[in-house]
Amino acid sequence: MNHGFPEGFLWGGATAASQVEGAWNRDGKGLDTQDCRSMPAGLTREQKNSWEFKEMTSEKLAAAIACKDEGTYPFRWGSREFDRWEEDLDLFAEMGMKIYRLSVSWARIFPNGDDAEPNQAGLAYYRRVFEGCKARGIKLFVTIQHYAIPVHLVEAYGGWKNRKVIDLFVRYAKTLFENYGDLVDYWLPFNEINAGRFHPFNGVSLIRDREENFDQSVHQALHHQFVANARVVALAHEMLPGVPVGCMIARFCHYPATCRPEDQLQCLHDEQYTNWYYTDVMMRGYYPAYIDRYFETMNVHLDITDEDRELLAAHPCDFVSFSYYFTQVSTIDEGWEKTGGNLVVASKNPYLETSEWGWQKDPTGLRITLNQLYDRYHKPVFVAENGLGATDVLEQDGSVHDPYRIDYLRGHVQAMRDAIEDGVDLFGYTMWGIIDLVSCGSEEMTKRYGVIYVDADDAGRGSFDRYRKDSFYWYRKCIATNGEDLD
């Protein structure tokens, strides 16, 4: 039996370019899809978390493209890491972080996505940051697409539903491999690939009012991402032998609400359609049989070529990763009470407490998830995101007391240790978002995840100065003792 975390376990933190960098139009960066998500002043928290607010429309997109300043677009300022990356890396090093998971902004490298040549200033920015990590002894886990894509690809190509975007993505990935192959330790083609289903604009850059059969477009676009993923795995294996490439989903662990067989069946279906389908394609290399019934009920008929199937089969990923924030229950009872979740509405579990945003905190679900993933694929597993969004208070003396975050992290670290002792080959954990950043779902800075506080409000006002929270010191001790001292 394993005891505790293995030597060399990769403790780290995660961010995404669109949420942390800012500098949306600097050094030649093009406008991207996240730059176009607005947060008008005066909305209540309920409104910010409503689907009406989160969903992109053609009208909203046109207004965003016309807006030439930061306006009410929080992803245009983020946490201003573009200007403060050295300070941030110093803080990560002080914490003893072993690995930083960050994403590259596609529009910083290819401003329109289909440009003849990459933007040299964008390439230089990431080289500085990546070399800065290496100089501080921090390994790199790089996401190639974390939601944002150049907006030109939406306007001129219709986003991921267009097969041509596969070639553009592969060329972008190749550019990254050529430029940073010597620096990056782990590559991830897509953040939460299942987002295509639960947030189609973020995941596959689709706008509902432009589609005739929305489900068809979503799943065809997802198929293109699966093919792109396989081609990028193939390319990495050829260009960067020995460098692992992973896949990732937002893992929504479900429990049957009761022991009624129909609830159990619902649970199986929810697990298949929201979780397993995606990792099955990318880890096993083929479309699972259960998905045909799902497609038929939605009138979805995919265009999959023989070559696509061969690519998927020949190039599965080397490891499986996921984001984990909450769990939910599955039931056939339509009146079952609801609560919040990442860009989704979840069914309530009476045994769990929720965060301020209604997300159900469940460390045991993480242990279950880790066991399930390892049992199914027998490949190394990585927790790519996990953390607590909460309102924090910056005290006069610059301290931030966040015992609730420490509790949350402690529970999840213990669950990972238990899973390792269950025999799971878990090799790393990148806490989300290691530094406060703009929330992806509700676009609030004040939904804070960091162990580092950023002095800014939802409208982008503030000094953007960084402060160490109590959880910063807790995480530093956790890392220093390899997960042994969690007090």
Residues assigned a catalytic role:
192, 385
Is the four-CA dihedral 147, 148, 149, 155 of positive or negative sign? Answer: positive
Judged by CB under 6 A, the residue of 74, 78, 244, 441 near ligand BG6 is: 441
Shortest Å, Cβ 249 to ligand BG6 = 10
Pair type for strands 466-468 and 452-454:
antiparallel
Q: How far is Cα of residue 89 from the mean position of the Cα atoms in its chain?
A: 20
Tell me which residue of 394, 392, 412 sits closest to 403, measured CA to CA.
392
- In angstroms, rounded to a whole number, what is the distance separating the alpha carbons of residues 53 and 47? 7
Helix (H) or strand (E) holding 126: helix 120-135
Is the four-CA dihedral 213, 219, 223, 226 of positive or negative sign? Answer: positive
Judged by CB under 6 A, the residue of 35, 88, 192, 402 near ligand BG6 is: 192
Residue 140 or 257 having the CB closest to ligand BG6 = 140
Pair type for strands 319-323 and 381-385:
parallel
Shortest Å, Cβ 391 to ligand BG6 = 12
Shortest Å, Cβ 373 to ligand BG6 = 17
Convert 421-430 to b/e letters by CB count within 10 Å (16 or more is b).
ebebbbbbbb
The pair of structure tokens assigned to 194 is 């299942």
No. of helices (H) and no. of strands (E), the chain: 19, 14
Judged by CB under 6 A, the residue of 5, 324, 429, 432 near ligand BG6 is: 432
Q: Coil, strand or helix: which one is 40? A: coil
Judged by CB under 6 A, the residue of 38, 119, 323, 360 near ligand BG6 is: 323
Shortest Å, Cβ 208 to ligand BG6 = 20
Shortest Å, Cβ 197 to ligand BG6 = 13
- In angstroms, rounded to a whole number, what is the distance separating the alpha carbons of residues 176 and 130? 12
Residue 268 or 390 having the CB closest to ligand BG6 = 390
Judged by CB under 6 A, the residue of 191, 229, 279, 330 near ligand BG6 is: 191
Does residue 369 bind ligand BG6 (CB under 6 A)?
A: no
Judged by CB under 6 A, the residue of 119, 216, 342, 369 near ligand BG6 is: 342
Stretch that binds ligand BG6, among 57-65, 120-128, 277-285, 439-447 (CB under 6 A): 439-447
Shortest Å, Cβ 214 to ligand BG6 = 21
Residue 205 or 342 having the CB closest to ligand BG6 = 342
Does residue 389 bind ligand BG6 (CB under 6 A)?
A: yes
Does residue 81 bind ligand BG6 (CB under 6 A)?
A: no
How many CB atoms are closer than 10 A to CB 76? Answer: 26
- In angstroms, rounded to a whole number, what is the distance separating the alpha carbons of residues 421 and 8? 16
Q: Coil, strand or helix: which one is 246? A: strand
- Binding-residue total with ligand BG6 (CB under 6 A): 15
Shortest Å, Cβ 441 to ligand BG6 = 3
Shortest Å, Cβ 355 to ligand BG6 = 9
Shortest Å, Cβ 365 to ligand BG6 = 16
Q: Taking a C-beta distance cutoff of 8 angstroms, is the pair 328, 349 a contact? A: yes
Residue 263 or 436 having the CB closest to ligand BG6 = 436
Residue number of the CB atom closest to ligand BG6? 441
Tell me which residue of 126, 13, 84, 102 sits closest to 455, measured CA to CA.
84
Using CB under 6 A, which residues numbered 119 to 158 contact ligand BG6? none
Judged by CB under 6 A, the residue of 420, 439, 452, 471 near ligand BG6 is: 439
Stretch that binds ligand BG6, among 22-30, 92-100, 263-271, 436-444 (CB under 6 A): 436-444
Rg (CA), the chain: 21
Site string for ligand BG6, 244-273 (x = CB under 6 A): ------x-----------------------
Does residue 402 bind ligand BG6 (CB under 6 A)?
A: no
- In angstroms, rounded to a whole number, what is the distance separating the alpha carbons of residues 485 and 430? 18
Does residue 105 bind ligand BG6 (CB under 6 A)?
A: no
Does residue 16 bind ligand BG6 (CB under 6 A)?
A: yes
Q: Coil, strand or helix: which one is 355? A: coil
Those residues with Cβ within 8 angstroms of residue 400's Cβ, 6 or more apart along the chain or in another chain = 392, 393, 394, 453, 467, 468, 469, 470
* E strand map for 232-316: 246-250, 253-256
Q: Which residues contact ligand BG6 (rule: CB under 6 A)? A: 16, 19, 191-192, 250, 323, 342, 385, 389, 432, 439-442, 447
